[in-house]
Amino acid sequence: MIQALNLAKEIRDEITNWRRSLHKMPELGLFLPKTAEFVKRKLDRWGIEYITYRDNSGIVAHIGKEGGKVLALRADMDALPIKEETGLDYASENENMHACGHDCHTAMLLGVAKILKEHEDQLNGYVKLFFQPGEEGPGGRPVMIADGCMENPKVDAIYALHVGGVGEGMKPGDITLMYGPYSAADDQFDLYVKGRGGHGASPHLCVDPVVVATTIIQTFQTIVSREIDPTEPCVITVATLQAGRGAENIISDTCYMRGTVRNSTMENRNYVLSRMEEVVKGICMAMRADYDFKLDYGYVPVVNEKHMTDMLIASAQKVLGEDGVHVGGRQGMGGEDAGFYYQLVPGCFFNLCCTTAHSDGNVYPAHNSKFTVDDSLLYKGTAVFVQAVFDYFEE
């Protein structure tokens, strides 16, 4: 029987140091040359075979015996365009920041790679490690799937994790997970309302795009409050609204808005996006305006399959004990492009509780310039992954 926690603990300092090295050099989007080179150097050192791609910085490492079941483990590698304000000794050395923990995910998966390679003769299956770019946008999963990461050999199931906060009744280093929907469908929209500008004192000679736009915004909210089951989360947020150039007596020709739409199910997603288009068309027609409406279809929900979740719970309890594994909670409305993998194969997505307080005493959320993680706990995520791999193949 493999001792996953002990094996991960032996390389705890290495995992921490890998994370801190990655934290210093955050990169954005699909092309992460320094990050990818860092990962490849480790894989080369351990004698692990891997595949790279021409049109993105994704890496798929291969470990184990072909011919049996194939399990994928995924870690995202990209950062955010945020100027870091943590004051850490290993803070970002450029204008970007790993403010969502992807450096942690990459370091944990490197730990998995090292341990599995050292115990490859004990594996009764084949593991594919996905080091994925672009999760924060434009989405690294679609390009990697298009490049064939789920094939040759075909993936049967997948696990992935994310660093998260320490909730009530939990302790640092615990994990949390849930059955069913984990994250939301994440879509964006752009709308230009085209009116007819003129003098602010003569609105009857104009078509005021600001009035049209605000009517649309209010009606969008009635889709959420009056057309969607209130027990099913739905969010329409207009994050940007722009018109005019600062004058007080000019009605603008156009008004622009941009926002995000989050839905808990694909059924609601399809309904809400369709209704938004109908609302825009109907209100603009009624108020004599033209429009240009664009929907940017983003990420689908991550949905944890029951059997894979059952297995992950059992594996995690072997590593962390029953009191270190917390099952339940509510679906989050954040987007996660791992959902596209989970549409193809069953899987489970879980959280490692390891965010910690900034030096000012406050715990800041992901995507904040002061987001801080206790990276001495990352080895526990590696250990859960390793245990889950062996248990999956032994089932």
Question: Domain end: 273, 299, 325, which one?
Answer: 299
Cα 244 to Cα 155: distance, rounded to the nearest angstrom: 53
The pLDDT, as a whole number, for residue 321 is 98
Q: Check which CATH number belongs to the domain holding 241 and give it.
A: 3.30.70.360
139 and 15 housed in the same domain: yes
The pLDDT, as a whole number, for residue 139 is 82
169 and 119 housed in the same domain: yes
22 and 165 housed in the same domain: yes
Q: Which residue has the tokens 């995520």?
A: 381
Total tally of structural domains belonging to the chain: 2
The pLDDT, as a whole number, for residue 188 is 97
Q: Shortest CA distance to 189 belongs to which of 213, 158, 222? A: 213
343 and 293 housed in the same domain: no
Known catalytic residue at 135: yes
Residue 63, phi then psi, degrees to nearest 5:
-140, 135
Question: Domain end: 299, 326, 343, which one?
Answer: 299
Which residue in 27, 135, 187, 375 is the catalytic one? Answer: 135
E strand residue ranges, the chain: 49-52, 59-64, 70-76, 126-132, 157-164, 175-177, 180-181, 185-194, 198-199, 234-243, 250-251, 254-263, 290-299, 303-304, 325-327, 347-353
The pLDDT, as a whole number, for residue 142 is 81
Start-end of H helices in 119-252: 140-146, 209-227
377 and 361 housed in the same domain: yes
Which residue in 78, 336, 337, 375 is the catalytic one? Answer: 78
The pLDDT, as a whole number, for residue 2 is 85
192 and 292 housed in the same domain: yes
202 and 335 housed in the same domain: no
Q: How many residues does the chain have?
A: 395
Angle between the N-to-C axes of helices 33-45 and 102-118, in degrees from 0 to 180, rounded to the nearest 10: 20
261 and 310 housed in the same domain: no
The ranges of the chain with pLDDT < 50 are: none
162 and 22 housed in the same domain: yes
86 and 161 housed in the same domain: yes
200 and 272 housed in the same domain: yes
Domain of residue 121 covers 4-183+301-394
Question: Domain end: 235, 268, 299, which one?
Answer: 299
301, 266 contact by CB (below 8 A):
yes
Q: Shortest CA distance to 258 belongs to which of 222, 213, 207, 300? A: 213
The pairs formed by 307-313 with CB atoms below 8 angstroms and a separation of 24 or more are: 307/346, 308/157, 308/159, 308/346, 308/347, 308/348, 309/177, 309/178, 309/179, 309/348, 311/348, 311/388, 311/391, 311/392, 311/395, 312/159, 312/177, 312/348, 312/350, 312/384, 312/388, 313/177
Which secondary-structure segment (H or E) carries 273? helix 266-286
Q: Shortest CA distance to 162 belongs to which of 76, 277, 94? A: 76
**Alpha-carbon radius of gyration of the chain:** 24
Assign 63 to helix, strand or coil. Answer: strand
Residue 216, phi then psi, degrees to nearest 5:
-60, -45
Q: Check which CATH number belongs to the domain holding 128 and give it.
A: 3.40.630.10
257, 241 contact by CB (below 8 A):
yes
117 and 174 housed in the same domain: yes
